[in-house]
A = this chain, B = another copy of it.
């Protein structure tokens, strides 16, 4: 059989994301992806050293997409709190839309700090910090607030993705509410 692809890597990633969304991480295997693409089971190894490398690439893609959505959501005009709220909603909706992808993105344990996934994740954090420019808050206050808000949003996102929120609670409401309470409780621009 002739060579099948010039862009096997991209096709593997695309197919992997579909499988991930439809059947979860557990259903992702290099062999089945190769089968789906009509390629030998060993072909993926040329593009991904191992299964983890594929998951890492998916995580990077995920952070890049999340970052793009966050950047867009905060690009409009509006007050500081409004922009924070938009960012929060965007984050939480991403988790609703791609729960399995979010899981892969944050299953990045014991990775060295130089990692690509970590860098992609940090870029998302930067977008939040940028919102504080001209807010009147000191850099230290902004960074502290940023970590706390990010952790809180991640909690809502993770519980949403795991379908572990009490019935009747909307992730959107929770996110906006959390932003409001943290803001009021932080005396940021005092």
Binding site for B on A (CB under 8 A): 24, 99, 103, 106-111, 113, 118, 121, 125, 143-144, 147-148, 150-159, 161-167, 169, 174, 177-178, 180-187
Partner of A186, one of B125, B161, B181: B181
- State the copy count for this chain: 2
Contact across chains for A109 and B151 when beta carbons are under 8 A apart: no
Contact across chains for A158 and B164 when beta carbons are under 8 A apart: no
Residues A151 and B147 in contact in the complex (CB < 8 Å), given A162-B108, A163-B110, A185-B184: no
Contact across chains for B162 and A174 when beta carbons are under 8 A apart: no
Q: Which of chain B's residues have a CB closer than 8 A to the CB of A185?
A: 180-186
Contact across chains for B152 and A151 when beta carbons are under 8 A apart: yes
Q: Which of chain B's residues have a CB closer than 8 A to the CB of A159?
A: 106, 151, 154
Q: Which of chain B's residues have a CB closer than 8 A to the CB of A155?
A: 150-158
Give Cα A32 to B118, complex, Å: 32
Partner of A148, one of B108, B174, B184: B174
